[in-house]
């Protein structure tokens, strides 16, 4: 399969009963015909075969401070970006064949910084909108440890067709084959091999199959502060730091997590205890999740804190000072009914923020455009189209430490792209 295939035209229908009760479902394909334009000069045939010019109505580079470019193009050689700029100028400078994408707006390939592709087989099998414990029980009732790899592949292909080129996914020893599927589809990834449990059998020497290939990597992660041995979290963070890999953790997702950390033996605590997941070593830190993470030494610019629904102004300041990246999953939070993150404060704080979908066990799809549109409709803050696109491109690329290769249209980076749905373009035009 050509890793730079053009998205397939798909059609969806949108229904809206409550916010995000169903996906927004934009057409995400490319309704254009490609036209090979006549060149003034010809390079040697061998060079021409490796070079190309991609032209379209509008390009959003996703470079902070740069505006969208109209009637622009991207010059690539061997799928590496050579130059980005006005088509009228660059068509005279380069003699490569031109592919005209037509009247569309394109962005760098989208990056889903937090997903659980292994749960794709649980689509429509979990409780929606009833709270964390009912959702978790429905997840456990469906044998979540058994991965339906055909569903994984189907979900990954669908996301790829919608413009996603890279995943920040969660792995365990039960589903390592997942990376083979991503390799087959020529998708990029940083997969986080996640530690879980008290006490962790290998707390001092976690058996994580690290992989440091630039665009197909396996790193380490902790599930959450209330479910993972703190010594194990420290060790994994040291290991990922030494390998220049990112570290991921679910942080402050639901209220039971927060009260459990403060010593309350709530329903979630009892559920973990009954299933012998806490062992005899769990001790509540009597701190907020963010304070505890700081004291464990796991917050820095290479940490991705996922969810951050229940955080205070003090917590937010800790995250800002540490340089921690935040990944928001607003539709997943709504699906599980764990609350709404203080999105306005998080964005305005200056913290680097990404949007992600989480899993098909807690969302209606893995379409990042749908995630963005829900976010825009529910946040009480204005965005430009350029700012919004960065939540799906350069920000997650930085959080995953993949911004040297992905996340923006800049010289030397790999050329991947997505097409902005017309509904989102129209949304910004009307503002």
What single string gives the DSSP state of each residue in 271-325? Answer: HHHHTT-STTT----SS-HHHHHHHHT--STTEEEEE--S--HHHHHHHHHHT-E
What is the rounded CA–CA span in Å between residue 291 and residue 44?
A: 61
Alpha helices in 94-229 (DSSP H): 132-141, 149-161, 178-184
What is the rounded CA–CA span in Å between residue 357 and residue 113?
A: 8
**Range of lowest pLDDT (133-147, 178-192, 335-349):** 133-147
Give 273-306 pLDDT, tens digit per residue. 998 888 788 899 999 999 999 999 999 999 999 9
Q: How far is CA 412 from the centre of its chain?
A: 22
Look up tokens 């397939």; give the residue. Answer: 8
Q: Is the pLDDT of residue 29 over 70?
A: no
124 contacts 359 by C-beta, under 8 angstroms? no
pLDDT at position 199, please? 65
Q: Is the whole model's pTM more than 0.85, yes or no?
A: yes
Tokens encoding 366: 């893995």
Q: In the chain, what is the greatest distance between 2 CA atoms, to the nearest angstrom?
A: 75
Q: What mean pLDDT comes out for the span 411-428?
A: 97
234 contacts 293 by C-beta, under 8 angstroms? no
What is the rounded CA–CA span in Å between residue 134 and residue 335?
A: 12
383 contacts 376 by C-beta, under 8 angstroms? yes
Residue 100 DSSP one-character state: E
Annotated domain spans of the chain: 110-404
pLDDT at position 15, please? 32
Residue 405 DSSP one-character state: T
351 contacts 325 by C-beta, under 8 angstroms? yes
pLDDT at position 79, please? 93
3-state percent helix, strand, coil for the chain, nearest multiple of 5: 35, 20, 45
pLDDT at position 204, please? 62
According to DSSP, the residues that pair with 249 across neighbouring strands are 222, 305
247 contacts 220 by C-beta, under 8 angstroms? yes
Q: C-alpha distances in angstroms, 69 versus 59, 64, 73, 76, 92?
A: 5, 14, 9, 17, 18
List, in order, residues 6 or more apart from 295 with CB less than 8 Å away. Answer: 285, 287
According to DSSP, the residues that pair with 248 across neighbouring strands are 221, 304
Q: What mean pLDDT comes out for the span 96-116?
A: 97
What is the rounded CA–CA span in Å between residue 252 and residue 305?
A: 9
Q: Is the pLDDT of residue 385 over 70?
A: yes
Indicate the average pLDDT of the chain.
Answer: 89
319 contacts 307 by C-beta, under 8 angstroms? no
Nearest-5° Cα angle at 132, 19 to 303: 90
Q: Which CATH superfamily is domain 110-404 in?
A: Metal-dependent hydrolases (3.20.20.140)
pLDDT at position 421, please? 98
Element (DSSP H or E) covering residue 178: helix 178-184
Q: What mean pLDDT comes out for the span 402-414?
A: 98
**Range of lowest pLDDT (20-24, 57-61, 312-316):** 20-24
List, in order, residues 6 or more apart from 214 with CB less than 8 Å away. Answer: 402, 404, 405
pLDDT at position 191, please? 98
DSSP per-residue letters across 134-162: HHHHHHHHTTTTS--HHHHHHHHHHHHHT
């Amino acid at each position: 399969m050509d890793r730079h295939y053009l998205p397939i035209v798909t059609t969806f229908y949108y229904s809206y009963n409550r916010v995000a009760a169903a996906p927004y479902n934009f057409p995400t394909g490319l309704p254009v015909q490609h036209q090979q334009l006549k060149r003034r000069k010809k390079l040697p045939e061998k060079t021409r075969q490796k070079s190309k010019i991609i032209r379209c109505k509008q390009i959003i580079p996703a470079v902070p401070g740069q505006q969208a470019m109209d009637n622009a193009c991207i010059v690539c050689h061997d799928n590496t970006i050579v130059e980005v700029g006005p088509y009228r100028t660059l068509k005279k400078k380069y003699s490569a064949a031109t592919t005209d994408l037509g009247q569309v707006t394109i962005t760098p390939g989208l990056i889903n910084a937090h997903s659980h592709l292994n749960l794709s087989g649980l689509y429509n099998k979990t409780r929606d909108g009833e709270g964390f414990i009912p959702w978790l029980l429905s997840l456990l009732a469906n044998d979540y440890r058994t991965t339906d790899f055909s569903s994984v592949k189907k979900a990954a292909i669908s996301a790829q067709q919608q413009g996603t080129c890279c995943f920040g996914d969660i792995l365990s020893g039960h589903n390592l084959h997942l990376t083979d599927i991503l390799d087959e589809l020529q998708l990029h990834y940083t997969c986080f091999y996640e530690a879980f449990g008290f006490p962790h059998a290998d707390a001092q020497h976690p058996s994580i199959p690290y992989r440091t290939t630039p665009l197909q990597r396996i790193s380490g992660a902790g599930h959450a502060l209330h479910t993972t041995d703190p010594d194990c979290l420290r060790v994994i963070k040291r290991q990922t730091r030494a390998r220049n890999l990112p570290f991921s953790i679910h942080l402050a997702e639901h209220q039971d997590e927060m009260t459990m950390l403060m010593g309350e033996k709530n329903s979630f605590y009892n559920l973990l205890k009954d299933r012998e997941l806490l062992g005899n070593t769990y001790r509540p830190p009597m701190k907020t999740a963010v304070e505890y993470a700081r004291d464990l030494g796991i917050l820095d610019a290479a940490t991705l804190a996922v969810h951050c629904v229940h955080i205070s102004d003090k917590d937010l300041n800790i995250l800002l000072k540490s340089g921690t990246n935040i990944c928001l999953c607003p539709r997943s939070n709504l699906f599980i009914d764990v609350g709404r993150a203080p999105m306005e404060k998080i964005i305005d704080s200056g913290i680097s923020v990404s949007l992600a979908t989480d899993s098909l066990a807690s969302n209606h799809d893995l379409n990042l455009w749908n995630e963005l549109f829900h976010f825009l409709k529910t946040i009480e803050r204005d965005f430009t189209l350029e700012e919004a696109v960065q939540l799906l491109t350069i920000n997650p690329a930085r959080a995953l430490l993949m911004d040297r290769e992905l996340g923006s249209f800049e010289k030397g980076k790999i050329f991947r792209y997505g097409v902005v749905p017309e509904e989102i373009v129209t949304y910004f035009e009307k503002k």
